Amino acid sequence: MVVLGVETSCDETSAAVIRGDTVLSNVISSQEIHSRFGGVVPELASRAHIRLVVPMVREAMKEAQLDFTDLDGLAVTHGPGLVGALLVGVNFIKGLALALDRPFIGVNHIEGHIYGNILSQQTFEFPVLFLIISGGHTQLVLMKDHLQYKIIGTTRDDAVGEAFDKGAKLLGLGYPGGPEIDKRALNGDSTFYPFPQALARDKGYEFSYSGLKTSLLTYLQDKDKSFLQEHLDDICASYQFAAVEILIKKTMRAAREFHINNIAIAGGVAANSRLRKRLEEECRHNNRHLYLPDMQFCTDNAAMIARAGLEYLRNGFYSEQNLNAYPSLALQSVTTF
C-alpha cells in the first residue's frame, strides 16, 4: 500500500511517501522565520504552510518517483496543533483525495510520533510502554497492539519540550531550546545545581514541568553575566538532568508495575542524547527491551503520519470529507473541522 502523508501542525511543513514500512521520500522544511521571535508565531506558520505545502508534496512525489495515481491513500495530521496551520494540510489533502478519488485519513499527531518509532524498527513487539515527549505532550501510554492505546499518565501543566524551550530562552539560547541545552550539557556538570524533579514521590504517573522552569527563573535572578558565562554548560546539564531523570524514573516504575518488557520513546525530546543514553543503561540493567526512534523520525515529519495513516487505511478506517466518520481513538484530540 502506497500512502502520501502531510504534516503541518506546527512549524514544519513536511510531505512523505511510504510503501508499507519503506520510506520512499520524507521532505521537511523547518520554518526559520520563528527563531527571531523565540517561539512559533501561529499566523506566520499558517502562511508559510500555504506557500510550502504544494512544492513539498511535489518534491516528495518526485523523490519517490511516483505519480499521484500510484497512491492508494492519503494521510494528514488533523490535530493536536495550531488550528490555522492544521487547516492548511487538512484542506489540501481533502482536496487531493477528492480529485484522485482515494481514501484519506486524519491522523492524531501523537499517534504519528508513535508510528515514527515503529517505522524505525525491523521488528516491533507488543505490548509496549510508550513515553511520548514533545513540545506539547508528556505522556505514558500502554499499547496492547496496533492502534490500541491506554494513557496512564500525562502532564498537569507544561510539556517537557516546553520546559526545554522556555529554559533555553531564559538562558539566552536559541529556539528550539532542546537541542541547544542538549549540546551545552555535554560539556557541563549535571550535579552543579539540584533543580527540582516534580512529583518524584507521587505514586502515580503524572508529570509537572512548570516548577522546573520557575526554579530556573528564580535561580538566575541574582546571577551576574560573568557567572552565567562561566557556568552556562553546568546550568544546562543540571537543568537537563532534572528534566530527564524524572521521565526515566516514572517510565521504569510503570514498566515494573504493568509488567511490560518493551519500552519505546517518541516525539522531539526523544532526540535528547542524555535521555537516550540513560534509558539504554536502565533498560540494560532491568532487562527491558528499548525501542529508540531514528533521529530523523523524532521531530515532526510526514513519514510518521503516513505510517500511522497506513495502519488505519489497511484496517479499513478512513475519514469522510466532513471528518465525521473519523474512528474514535483513545488518543483523539478535540480538534475538529
What is the smallest separation between the CB atom of 236 and Zn ion, expressed in angstroms?
Answer: 23
Footprint on residues 7-46 left by ligand KG4 (CB under 6 A): 10
User: What is the rounded distance in angstroms from the CA atom of residue 204 to the CA atom of residue 254?
Assistant: 9
73, 79, 89, 178: which one binds ligand KG4 (CB under 6 A): 178
DSSP 293: P
Please tell me the count of residues contacting Zn ion according to CB under 5 A. 2
Report CA-CA distances (Å) from 312 to 107, 115, 127: 9, 12, 19
In three-state form (DSSP H/G/I as H, E/B as E, the rest C), the secondary structure along 53-71 is HHHHHHHHHHHHCCCHHHC
- In angstroms, what is the minimal distance from the CB of 239 to ligand KG4? 11
**Residue from 7, 165, 206, 311 that binds ligand KG4 (CB under 6 A)?**
165
CA dihedral 8, 298, 31, 56 (to 10 degrees): -60
Stretch that binds ligand KG4, among 37-45, 119-127, 172-180, 207-215 (CB under 6 A): 172-180
Cα 200 to Cα 58, 86, 285, distances in angstroms: 48, 35, 21
Nearer to ligand KG4, 103 or 176 (CB): 176
Among 153, 161, 188, 309, binds ligand KG4 (CB under 6 A): 161
Number of neighbours of residue 336 by Cβ within 10 angstroms: 12
Q: Would you say 303 and 17 are in contact if contact means Cβ atoms under 8 Å apart?
A: no
Q: Per CB under 6 A, which of residues 181..240 are in contact with ligand KG4? A: 182
Going residue by residue from 79 to 118, which x/- string records binding to ligand KG4, judged by CB under 6 A?
A: ----------------------------------------
Q: Which of 208, 272, 319, 333 binds ligand KG4 (CB under 6 A)?
A: 272
Examine residue 300 and tell whether it contacts Zn ion (CB under 5 A). yes
Minimum Å gap between C-beta 291 and ligand KG4 is 17
Residue of 105, 113, 152 lying closest to 136 (CA atoms)? 113
Residue 176 touches which member of ligand KG4, Zn ion, none, C-beta under 5-8 Å by kind: ligand KG4
Please tell me the distance from the alpha carbon of residue 92 to that of residue 106, in angstroms, as a whole number. 12
Residues 285-304 binding ligand KG4 (CB under 6 A) are 299-300
Helix (H) or strand (E) holding 75: strand 73-79
**How many angstroms from the chain centroid is the CA of residue 110?**
7
Please name the amino acid found at residue 276: R
Contact footprint for ligand KG4 (CB under 6 A): 10, 134-136, 161, 164-165, 176-179, 182, 267-269, 271-272, 299-300
